[in-house]
A and B are shown apart, each in its own frame.
Chain A
Amino acid sequence: MKILKSIILTMALLLTTAVSAQTITSVHGTVSDDMGPLMGATVVEIDGNGRIIESALTDLNGNFTMKVRNQKDKIRFSYVGLKTVTFPINKSTYNLKLESATQLKEVVIKSKKRAQGNGLPIPEKEISYASQTLSMKEFEGLGLTSVDEALQGRIAGLDIVSGGDLGKGSTMRLRGVSSLSSLTDSNPLIVVDGNIREVNLDNFDMAGANDEKFAELLNINPEDIASITVKKDAAATAIYGSQGGNGVIELTTKRGVRGKPKLTYSLKLTGTYQPKGYEMLNGDDYTMLMKEAYFNPAQNDEAASQFNIPEINYLGNEFSEWRQYRANTDWRDAVTQWGLRQNHYITVSGGGEKASFRIGGGFDHETGTMIEQKLNRFSTRVALDYNISERIRVSTNFALTYTKNKMNYDDLLAIALKKMPNMSIYEKDPLTGEDTDVYYNMLQSGNYIGSEAFKEDQRKYVNPVASAHLAKKDRRTYDMSPELILNYKLLGMDEDHWQLNWRGSVYMNIFNQYDDSFYPQELTTTNYEGGVNTSYTGSSKSVSFNTKQTLTLIPAFTNKDHSMMVLGRFELTSGSSSSQGTSGTGLPSTNLAITSPAAGGLISSVTSGYNQWRSMYYTLSAHYAYKERYIIDATVRADGTTKFGPNNRWGYFPSVSLRWNVIEEPFMKWAKPVLNMLSIRPSWGQVGRQPNQNYLYTSKYGYSDRYIDMSSMAPLNIRLTDLKWEITTSYNVGIDLAFLDDRLTLTLEGYRSTTTDMLMANYRVPSNTGYATIPYRNTGKMRNIGWEFHINTNKLIKAGKFYMDLNANFGNNKNELLEMDEYILDGLNSKFGYNNGEWLRRVQLHNPLGAIYGFKYKGVYQYNYNTFVDMTDEQRRDFLASGKTAPVAMNADGSLILDATGAPKRMVYDYTNDGTGKNYNFNGGDAMYEDLNHDGQINALDITYLGSSLPKLTGGFGFTFTYGDWRLATQFTYRVGNKILNMARLNAEAMTGNDNQSQAVNYRWRKEGDVTSIPRAMHNFSNGPIAYNSLVSDRFVEDGSYLRMSYAQLNYTFKKKQLKWIGLSRIAIYASINNPFVITKYSGVDPDIVNAGYDPAIDNAQTPRSRSYTLGLTVDF
């Protein structure tokens, strides 16, 4: 079509030069086709840019008359179904016959599938960088609630850990962690339609901000997304420069398509619940445990009464609160519930030659899996495209999301798991013993009548049910992002001409957040000193502005073996945020009606903040291909930022990638019938990272202590003039294979990336500078090596109406710290304090991060020391031979260590002569740790390597079965060979405090001779004996390998003819299960835990991923 059009155009141009002179002010004539005169045919005058200047329609008889504005313009005739023709205006009468478009002879147009996204529109076969694209067509009809869900298990090398909290996002790591700095973020960059969302609220903590940033993915309705591309290597992310250092996830949203307006309505109903985790003790077991825990350290029956703990002794009337402490409350059950979610979404799309549009709007209502959590979200997205002329197109996008999130004030689940189960939720009626409607909390310290034993823990735990119902924590957010885009084809408009296209865009992001919270006095359990009826109101605003100017040059070579594209872009970003907040206490409390700090209490604090950021980028990117066989891409990007001082403000990040399509070589012709792609893609690139803090390069002055009556100030820091970009240099080699006309595609990638000049904190400098450390310095080097593999199929197995497809990917990443300043390293490594539950962080050169260190656990000493001492030598031999255990020290050869008097030496913990150590004597029922160096005591020297939290393999796979209108899709994710330090279990089995414990402790050691792996209950008194039964040991280090079914979904689409009678064009219904099961040996609630930075993977009892069941319906009108 295009070719024909241009031929006509060229001819028309030639004609223009031939004929001239005559002045034409109007034209008239008749338009007809084979059947006779045409009514309603369009006649237009178009200018050199293709813009319509004047137009007219033919009448009943096919006649028309039209004014002509400029004789140099052209005249165009068109009619639906007929071929459009264009002539120069060189005569005043046009009588013509339009040909039927369908009668034209066939023209073969080579259309190449091109990379969509922010860079050059490179044909798919010429892409030389490492990336992976998911078309949302694959997910059409799938009940996905968020984009991260779609990505889970689908992208090789992308590790996603999803939290279970409502509205909270996921943590993502692409190809491992390549930065250790607290100044940088490790999540990949999210780009939506070429735009990076910049919300920067300075009252956010960074961890929270990351969650928020990723929750942004939730703000884009999956229904609006056309495709997702994950860009992995430096060559792929090069056009994002320093922003893309952790990889890039590019989302492209859907736009309107030409055709008659289409209305789609979709509905999803989802039920969710949380997997349970450890079973906790009930009230009866708990009180029994507490009595033992208080008895054991003192070995004294009076212990429990010595501490006078009426709450666990089922006393009668002598304890006024007795009725409140004889329940068997399942606190977790009381605070969890089935969450329900309904998502409604309507889209209208359509368009004509001039304009197309797509408007989407959705409403979500969600109740959480914790009681009293509620989320309402309204979102809308509008995309409009208007072709002013063939050369100029204006597009505008507008997205708005309003969220109202009613959250829990306290972490209910954490409290529920700790709260004593023999306490009742509601206050019992003193006469009848029935529940009243008042929530029960332990009494205040002032007039408290119970025991002091619970002062520091149980009394501080609020009644979680009461907190859920009475406390308020609301957050409202408005997120708006309008965008205006102008496309201008400056030169040619097709591949036969040199093309120079300009694209200019302006994008804004406006984010407002309002927080309100109130904590009523009913929930204040410890004392009133900190204030009661506390309330907070705050708001944050962030506005950012971004403009991009892009010029793309596509030369048209006469020799079609060459093809080339060049892109130049300038981008500028500027933004600011501000926040303010007011807290008040002592508000008048009237049935929770007054909750604003302005209501007349005491204003306890007023805070405000201001933040500002700016950046500037230049990008130059070029693509060249010879015979579609040898391809080279090169990109250089210059980033300017406010984060560095004038010397290092600009960073330059180059990348080069090559592709050799081996399959296109003549010698590979034989393979063509089977193999349709074989290519090798080497690439190299550099990206930089900038700190997320401003003003590091300024010298700040702050207040110092006064002297005499003089106020004083002092320079606070050395400005970081030298601070520069953290640079990651990476190499990548990829191999693409495709068989049988893309029915099976394979990609294999290998990479090595080295991060240098890492931005590390607290760098020690000679103190003759006046400072002992400077806050940040570029130092250290680390490396990531890994490989990835993924397979995709397209109708792999075909049998009649039946299709089957599969996708699979796996990958592995290894990191190693190569260099690091020794003081920084020293500061990162923790020193062992010999405490229960204390884990050691060891960061060592030439070792991977995330190693777990601890003691070796050998079980529980069955017998007391004294029992063993009292035996004769003979008995001792038999005792040891039979495998029984007592806390005595052994030599390396297994013989007893005896003291001067011949008595066996007792095993001790952290023994020091001067008494500064813990000097704890082990006894029967205590945890038995391996004395690795056989020095007769357990101390830091017995700590050993217990495993790595880095998985050997991660990945996912999925199957899709289609039979006619039925479709079944499944997706699995897995991780193999990683270890997790299960601190959640450690705390649930420690038996050292008053917190509720897991049911596993029912198998604890209770009397001599018991054979068990759970030590005895030993309460840790603050100034009394402390047992060391819950040190970090391999008892709590577990294999974190798992296989999870991410989802399974069954989908049925009604046939169009079945729906004709109700006037609908499509109905699809589906049912899906998300996260129905996890196959794992891991004992915790969810093995989806990865190491963060240099720390090992630690299960801190975070909210697990919920399981959900969804019913969905999509209707096209």
Chain B
Amino acid sequence: MKKIIYNIISAACLTLPMVSCSDFLEIKPQNEIIMEDFWSEKADVDNIVAGCYAALESDAAIRRMMMWGEFRSENVMAGPDCEKDGNLQNVFKENITPKNFYTTWDVFYNVINRCNTVIKYAPEVAQRDPAYSTSELNATLAEVTALRALCYFYLIRTFRDVPYTTEAYTDDDQEMQLAATPFYTVLDNLIADLERVKSSAIARYPETQPLYQTGRITQDAINAMLCEMYLWKKDYQSCINYADLVINSKKAQAEEKKQKTGRTTQSSELRLKGYPLVNNMRSTSSFGSAFEEIFVTGNSQETIFELMFDNTNAGTTMLSNSACGQWYGNSQADGRVAASNTVVEDAALTNSRTVFDDKNKKLDARIYENFTTGGNVCKFVYRTLSINTSGSDPEASYSTIFRYNYAKINNVDTWYTSSNWIIYRLSDIMLLKAEALAQLMRDGATDEDVAYNTPYRNQAFELVNVVNQRSICKSTLGDDDTLKLTDYSTKAAMEELVLRERQRELMFEGKRWYDLVRRSLRDGNTKTLCQIVGRRDGPNSQLAQNFFGNKSLWNWAIFWPYNYEELTVNKNLAPNPAYGDGNTGNIE
């Protein structure tokens, strides 16, 4: 009997090997890296950080940066091939519904999630990998925090209130249906994040990696973002402070470089008043070198942060810029997006201009840098530009290599360019500072007001004037060629000047619509915006003005609608009231 009992016990032992259950059922893939094995050393973190940039410059992201920030403005209209993209057409017709494909935002949240993942796991890596120092960890955290802030900044400028999370999504049981966080709450969070990390970010990358200085987040980039964010927040003094940090840093860098190379300041650079902008003058009668340095070669000295694309024509080592290639044009086809008749005609006319109206008329190099007389977008597309001023009027020529090459990938013609996409450059910051200075001015015209305004006015004017003078195609500037301070004595005039200068300087760089939205939020009305939208080619301007002029909903109408699918799957996301949820299809 004992034996039998023993047998039962031993059988039971065989039957119930509970101990190793959970281990036994744990298996790992042998040909893929999984999270549990991944975050172990600094190289892993670096790889994901690079992945954040790669996602940020993916085709979908660049398209949205181009479109969200500009395509609803009067700068652009439908190009020759546009009918192939109904969603794009509808944007130009100001007929944007929640079902429009370009209202999808997943690419930005993809970057945000990658950043959040790094923020979550990098500290663990620092504990595991002794070679990963605390300062390196902090620099990484600053870098991805800044990238995340940039993505959210794009999102709130486009959609106003957006779902905001700093959680890394790794599991399907996490809370996914997030309600939208209000614009200013998100903005405050972003500012707080950046204020926190700004000092630990890398100021200067090693000289062995010159492309990192402009292609990755630096302290300058964070300061530039803070500068713009404070401007949106209407904290003008902070905006100015951060703009100064950026400007001074760029000045110092330029000075350092000058000393190293032994180059002296050329007389043609004197008009830049010591601001390290790229000189546009090739010779006394030839201009356009700034265009090539900034938009063709890339990583110019005035760049603060730009997304870098492959400059081999096959797109072999990294991504190529297919978004600019298709929308702005390439060597095989005109772009689906063209410079609008409004700006092209404005440039061509001699009188009653609205964009290029400030003094220098046809001498403004940006007329040629931005678009051709036929309306093709020139920035990011043309490879060479030379503006000849030996004749009576300047003449632009685009020599031999007409546009960027395209690549054949897998035997399919893919229209790529290698243009870098610029997010911040110095002239942008200078003009942001000018905008803030103008806001510090008073409206009145009493002597007291004038006395109060003068320092701000002078500073603002100088910034605008430097940017403007850089683009004047004349070797020696006469009094009639440049802007005159006396023309812009009031706050309103200065504000208008800055807005126009920004339009001229940053055309097609995805900034114009955001400028108008910021203006509307500041004014508390859409008067300026409606006026400008009224000049657009394409949409029924009366309808559009009514839409934006709506007294109760204008502050939603100037933003984009949430995507229909997003609204359907996220029950906590309320539709943008100016657009509805996409089921009715009506625009109020």
Binding site for B on A (CB under 8 A): 48, 488, 490-491, 500, 502, 504, 549, 551, 568-570, 572, 574, 609-610, 612-616, 640-642, 646, 649, 694-695, 698-702, 704-715, 718-723, 764-772, 774, 777, 822-823
A710 lies within 8 A of B46 (CB): yes
Interchain Cβ contacts under 8 Å between A and B, 14 examples? A490-B4, A502-B11, A640-B25, A695-B34, A699-B35, A701-B35, A702-B33, A708-B212, A712-B54, A713-B33, A715-B113, A718-B171, A764-B568, A770-B106
Give min CB distance, A446 to chain B, whole Å: 18
Give min CB distance, A763 to chain B, whole Å: 9
Q: Which of B47, B106, B308, B317 contacts A713 (CB 8 A)?
A: B47
A721 lies within 8 A of B172 (CB): yes
* Residue in chain A with minimal CB distance to B107: A767
Q: Which residues of A contact B515 (CB under 8 A)?
A: none
B173 lies within 8 A of A768 (CB): no
Q: Which residues of A contact B570 (CB under 8 A)?
A: 766, 768
A646 lies within 8 A of B104 (CB): no
Given A712-B53, A768-B163, A720 and B317 contact (CB-CB distance below 8 Å): no
* Residue in chain B with minimal CB distance to A719: B171
A568 lies within 8 A of B15 (CB): yes
A649 lies within 8 A of B170 (CB): no
Q: How many Å lie between the Cα of A699 and that of B169 in the bound state?
A: 10
A715 lies within 8 A of B26 (CB): no
B34 lies within 8 A of A774 (CB): no
Q: Which residues of A contact B171 (CB under 8 A)?
A: 699, 718-719, 721-722
* Residue in chain A with minimal CB distance to B113: A770
Q: Which residues of A contact B51 (CB under 8 A)?
A: 704, 707, 712-714
B109 lies within 8 A of A769 (CB): yes
A715 lies within 8 A of B117 (CB): yes
Q: Which of A714, A721, A771 contacts B173 (CB 8 A)?
A: A721
* Residue in chain B with minimal CB distance to A611: B30
Q: Which residues of A contact B57 (CB under 8 A)?
A: 707
- Contact of B131 with A by CB under 8 A: no
Q: Which residues of B contact A649 (CB under 8 A)?
A: 22, 25
B48 lies within 8 A of A642 (CB): no
Q: How many Å lie between the Cα of A723 and that of B17 in the bound state?
A: 26
* Residue in chain B with minimal CB distance to A647: B173
B172 lies within 8 A of A723 (CB): yes
B48 lies within 8 A of A641 (CB): no
Give min CB distance, A505 to chain B, whole Å: 12
- Which of the candidate stretches B174-182, B249-257, B445-453 sits at the interface with the other chain? B174-182
Q: Which of B50, B162, B308 contacts A711 (CB 8 A)?
A: B50
Q: Which residues of B contact A491 (CB under 8 A)?
A: 4
Q: How many Å lie between the Cα of A723 and that of B163 in the bound state?
A: 25
A777 lies within 8 A of B32 (CB): no
A-B pairs, 8 with minimum CB distance: A770-B113, A712-B50, A767-B106, A710-B50, A699-B35, A714-B51, A713-B47, A766-B570
- Contact of B19 with A by CB under 8 A: no
Q: How many Å lie between the Cα of A719 and that of B117 in the bound state?
A: 13
- Contact of B31 with A by CB under 8 A: yes
Q: Which of A488, A612, A718, A822 contacts B169 (CB 8 A)?
A: A718
Q: Which residues of B contact A551 (CB under 8 A)?
A: 11-12, 15
- Contact of B114 with A by CB under 8 A: yes
Q: Which residues of A contact B58 (CB under 8 A)?
A: 705
Q: Which residues of A contact B216 (CB under 8 A)?
A: 708
Q: How many Å lie between the Cα of A826 and that of B55 in the bound state?
A: 28
Q: How many Å lie between the Cα of A1071 and that of B99 in the bound state?
A: 68
Q: Which residues of B contact A568 (CB under 8 A)?
A: 15
Q: Which residues of B, 155-177, contact A by the 8 Å Cβ criterion?
A: 162-163, 165, 169-174, 176-177
Q: How many Å lie between the Cα of A774 and that of B568 in the bound state?
A: 16
Q: How many Å lie between the Cα of A12 and that of B428 in the bound state?
A: 109
Give min CB distance, A776 to chain B, whole Å: 9
Give min CB distance, B24 to chain A, whole Å: 6
Q: Which residues of B, 10-43, contact A by the 8 Å Cβ criterion?
A: 11-12, 14-17, 21-22, 24-36, 38
Q: Which residues of A contact B105 (CB under 8 A)?
A: 767
Q: Which residues of A contact B423 (CB under 8 A)?
A: none
A614 lies within 8 A of B25 (CB): yes
Q: How many Å lie between the Cα of A488 and that of B7 in the bound state?
A: 10
Given contacts A570-B17, A707-B308, 9 further A-B contacts (CB under 8 A): A500-B8, A616-B21, A698-B34, A701-B32, A707-B319, A709-B211, A718-B170, A719-B170, A719-B171
B50 lies within 8 A of A706 (CB): yes
* Residue in chain A with minimal CB distance to B29: A695
A766 lies within 8 A of B176 (CB): yes
Q: Which residues of B contact A718 (CB under 8 A)?
A: 169-172
- Contact of B112 with A by CB under 8 A: yes
Give min CB distance, A608 to chain B, whole Å: 8
A707 lies within 8 A of B14 (CB): no
Q: How many Å lie between the Cα of A641 and that of B27 in the bound state?
A: 10
Binding site for A on B (CB under 8 A): 3-4, 7-8, 11-12, 14-17, 21-22, 24-36, 38, 44, 46-51, 53-55, 57-58, 104-106, 109-114, 116-117, 162-163, 165, 169-174, 176-178, 209, 211-212, 215-216, 308, 317-319, 565-566, 568-570, 573
Q: Which residues of A contact B49 (CB under 8 A)?
A: 710, 712
Q: Which residues of A contact B7 (CB under 8 A)?
A: 488, 490, 502
Q: How many Å lie between the Cα of A714 and that of B35 in the bound state?
A: 11
Q: Which residues of A contact B3 (CB under 8 A)?
A: 48
For B57, B162, B169, B173, the residue with the greatest tally of chain A CB atoms inside 10 Å of its CB is B169
Q: How many Å lie between the Cα of A718 and that of B175 in the bound state?
A: 13
Q: Which residues of B contact A704 (CB under 8 A)?
A: 50-51, 54-55
Q: How many Å lie between the Cα of A667 and that of B209 in the bound state?
A: 98
A641 lies within 8 A of B25 (CB): yes
Q: How many Å lie between the Cα of A699 and that of B27 in the bound state?
A: 13
For B34, B35, B44, B172, the residue with the greatest tally of chain A CB atoms inside 10 Å of its CB is B172
B172 lies within 8 A of A766 (CB): no
For A490, A610, A720, the residue with the greatest tally of chain B CB atoms inside 10 Å of its CB is A490
Q: How many Å lie between the Cα of A711 and that of B318 in the bound state?
A: 9
B31 lies within 8 A of A610 (CB): yes
Q: How many Å lie between the Cα of A574 and that of B26 in the bound state?
A: 12
Q: Which residues of A contact B8 (CB under 8 A)?
A: 490, 500
Q: How many Å lie between the Cα of A765 and that of B216 in the bound state?
A: 31
Q: Which residues of B contact A764 (CB under 8 A)?
A: 565, 568-569
Q: How many Å lie between the Cα of A497 and that of B163 in the bound state?
A: 71
Q: Which of B17, B31, B34, B114 contacts A714 (CB 8 A)?
A: B114
A549 lies within 8 A of B34 (CB): no
Given A705-B54, A766-B163, A614 and B114 contact (CB-CB distance below 8 Å): no
B318 lies within 8 A of A705 (CB): yes
Q: How many Å lie between the Cα of A569 and that of B32 in the bound state?
A: 35
Q: Which residues of B contact A766 (CB under 8 A)?
A: 163, 176-178, 566, 569-570, 573
Q: How many Å lie between the Cα of A293 and that of B38 in the bound state?
A: 62
Given A570-B16, A718-B169, A769 and B174 contact (CB-CB distance below 8 Å): yes
A822 lies within 8 A of B110 (CB): no
Give min CB distance, B337 to chain A, whole Å: 21
Q: How many Å lie between the Cα of A572 and that of B18 in the bound state?
A: 12
B109 lies within 8 A of A767 (CB): yes
B317 lies within 8 A of A706 (CB): yes
Q: Which residues of A contact B33 (CB under 8 A)?
A: 700-702, 713
A612 lies within 8 A of B27 (CB): yes
Q: How many Å lie between the Cα of A500 and that of B170 in the bound state?
A: 49
* Residue in chain A with minimal CB distance to B86: A916
Q: How many Å lie between the Cα of A705 and that of B54 in the bound state?
A: 6
Q: Which residues of A contact B116 (CB under 8 A)?
A: 770
* Residue in chain B with minimal CB distance to A718: B172
Q: How many Å lie between the Cα of A886 and that of B173 in the bound state?
A: 62
A713 lies within 8 A of B569 (CB): no
A701 lies within 8 A of B34 (CB): yes
B25 lies within 8 A of A767 (CB): no
Q: How many Å lie between the Cα of A614 and that of B566 in the bound state?
A: 39
Q: Which of A609, A640, A698, A710 contacts B28 (CB 8 A)?
A: A698
B170 lies within 8 A of A707 (CB): no
Q: How many Å lie between the Cα of A770 and that of B118 in the bound state?
A: 14
Q: How many Å lie between the Cα of A768 and that of B151 in the bound state?
A: 12
Q: Which residues of A contact B319 (CB under 8 A)?
A: 705-707
